[in-house]
């Protein structure tokens, strides 16, 4: 689907949902959040990448471009399927409710998931056996590589694949076959987790669609080096004969960081993708659209031109721009899919080639209200300057919550311009900012849940160019009050953004 009418959405990752298992998941709180969106007339739920995460727990450094994160599996559903017993939940650790303690959650959920798999594996009469085999067959293209990657990774104590023994690192057929034979059960375990994740997600998506709610997902343009796809398809990336990246991804100095951002991701060998008719990319989009309805293309400007930094550089100040695949990639995708269900994250250094690529395919770009008050009246991020074909945000996962921005980040001049623009109001600053983008001509307006709840800096999701303390925020149980529901319903109705099923 594409965004065709005035509508609104809420940005909140699954991990941020409340719940009793230390991290938001696909259980009851997810269904309650869908109910909240439906009751208030809010059409879209935007989530961050759903892939399993590695070091740092960043969804933008996933271990796979295709797999789902097992931490989002709902243990209660496993109990309903009789794969877990009441005693399996005994001795559960005390887990915080307002943030994610990833180390504790990973240990706790891993134990439950292993018990569930053991029950499934040993059962000869499970009604899901046939479904599981069918799932593996339908997803063989990516699933086999991912499950093998994870089993090897865990066998070598979570070491990056660059530190595996050479026969496995270089995927020598005999070594791969021998490992599969010796560790078949571990490989099956990861296939089981993906099967359950898929089952639970499709249940939630069906429930959401029945209520008129649709998902916006997020695809990071780049993959982390320690990723199943880089290991399985090294020819698709700029790697040397030792399978190491001579250049890596990042962005030069910008609004977020005076020394730029050194991401360290391997870069694509776009010539090989061209020769393969962009098959891997088309497959990636198709798989993602099995889970979400619209895709936000993170770092869209990288498709027009990307910034490459020599490996070993200490900052992103040293680097150069290189031409990306541009129109050829999107023509290939459109030819296969028939449409382009994308939002272009066109922030940062936007040059004419980026604008041309976005507009050539009529992709909606992004407008961030927090960026609006550092200039003058012609600032593109001021709501009265928005084009219709855009998605307006108060802020994103990379920004502080709007209250924290106003209180701690914005300059006095920005705060003054913000107050002048919003006018006299008794509303919280975050609510006044939401009302401002809701009233704009942008066809879709989205606010992070932190802004709906008028939370401050402590609720920030991510600080770019940092690796500690991110991705941990969770919404308190009971945070969504009747007052908030009434207010959101009102502005959806007043500004003609209310959900039409």
Residue 242 token pair: 């030792």
Q: How many angstroms separate the CA atoms of 110 and 93, rounded?
A: 13
> Concatenated DSSP letters for 373-403?
TSS-TT-TTSGGG--SSEEEES--TTSPPHH
Closest CA to 433 of 400, 473, 409, 406: 406
What is the β-pairing status of strands 365-368 and 390-393?
A: parallel
DSSP letter at 109 equals H
| Integer angstrom CA distances of residue 182 from 152, 252, 344, 354, 477 | 11, 46, 45, 49, 45
Judged on CB neighbours under 10 Å (0-12, 13-18, 19+), 254 is middle
Alpha helix ranges (H) inside 279-324: 279-288, 301-304
Helix (H, G, I), strand (E, B) or coil at 11: strand
The catalytic site residues sit at 298, 345, 398
How many residues appear in the chain?
501
Measured between alpha carbons, how far is residue 120 from residues 124, 129, 184, 187, 254 in Å? 8, 8, 15, 14, 51
In what side-by-side order are the strands of the sheet with 261-266? 261-266, 247-251, 305-310, 320-323
How many other β-carbons are positioned within 10 Å of the β-carbon of residue 464? 15
- In what helix (H) or strand (E) does residue 452 lie, and over which residues does it extend? helix 449-452
How buried is 384 (Cβ within 10 angstroms: 0-12 exposed, 13-18 middle, 19+ buried)?
exposed
């Amino acid at each position: 689907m594409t965004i065709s009418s005035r509508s609104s959405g809420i940005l909140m990752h699954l991990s941020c949902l409340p719940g009793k298992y230390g991290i938001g998941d696909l259980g009851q709180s997810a269904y309650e959040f869908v109910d909240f969106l439906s009751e208030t007339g809010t059409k879209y739920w935007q989530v961050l990448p759903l892939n399993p995460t590695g070091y740092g727990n960043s969804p933008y450094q996933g271990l796979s471009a295709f797999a789902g994160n097992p931490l989002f599996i709902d243990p209660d559903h496993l109990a309903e399927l009789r794969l877990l017993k009441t005693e399996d939940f005994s001795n559960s650790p005390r887990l915080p409710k307002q943030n994610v303690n990833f180390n504790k959650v990973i240990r706790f959920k891993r134990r439950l998931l292993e018990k569930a798999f053991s029950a499934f594996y040993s059962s000869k009469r499970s009604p899901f056996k046939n479904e599981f085999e069918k799932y593996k067959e339908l997803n063989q293209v990516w699933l086999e590589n991912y499950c093998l990657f994870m089993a090897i990774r865990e066998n070598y104590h979570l070491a990056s694949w660059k530190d595996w023994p050479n026969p496995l690192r270089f995927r020598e057929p005999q070594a791969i076959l021998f490992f599969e034979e010796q560790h078949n059960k571990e490989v099956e375990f990861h296939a089981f987790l993906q099967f359950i994740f898929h089952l639970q997600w499709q249940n939630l998506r069906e429930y959401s669609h029945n209520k008129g709610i649709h998902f916006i997902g997020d695809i990071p343009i780049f993959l982390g080096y320690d990723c199943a796809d880089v290991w399985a398809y090294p020819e698709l990336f700029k790697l040397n004969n030792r399978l190491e990246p001579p250049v890596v991804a990042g962005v030069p100095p910008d609004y977020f960081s005076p020394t730029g951002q050194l991401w360290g991701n391997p870069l694509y060998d776009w010539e090989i993708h061209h020769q393969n008719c962009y098959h891997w990319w088309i497959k990636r989009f198709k798989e993602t659209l099995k889970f979400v309805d619209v895709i936000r293309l993170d770092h869209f400007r990288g498709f027009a031109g990307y910034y490459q930094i020599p490996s070993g550089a200490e900052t992103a100040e040293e680097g150069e721009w290189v031409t990306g695949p541009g129109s050829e990639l999107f023509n290939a995708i459109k030819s296969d899919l028939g449409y382009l269900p994308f939002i272009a994250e066109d922030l940062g250094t936007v040059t004419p080639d980026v604008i041309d690529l976005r507009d050539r395919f009529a992709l909606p770009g992004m407008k961030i209200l927090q960026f609006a008050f550092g200039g003058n009246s012609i600032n593109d991020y001021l709501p009265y300057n928005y084009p219709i074909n855009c998605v307006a945000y108060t802020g994103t996962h990379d920004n502080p919550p709007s209250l924290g921005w106003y209180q701690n980040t914005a300059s006095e001049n920005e705060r003054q311009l913000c107050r002048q623009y919003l006018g006299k109001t008794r509303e919280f600053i975050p609510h006044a900012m939401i009302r401002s983008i809701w009233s704009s001509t942008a066809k879709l307006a989205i606010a992070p849940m932190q802004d709906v709840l008028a939370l401050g800096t402590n609720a920030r999701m991510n600080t770019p160019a940092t690796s500690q303390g991110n991705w941990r925020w969770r919404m308190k149980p009971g945070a969504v009050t009747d007052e908030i529901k009434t207010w959101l319903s009102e502005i959806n109705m007043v500004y003609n953004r209310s959900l039409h099923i």
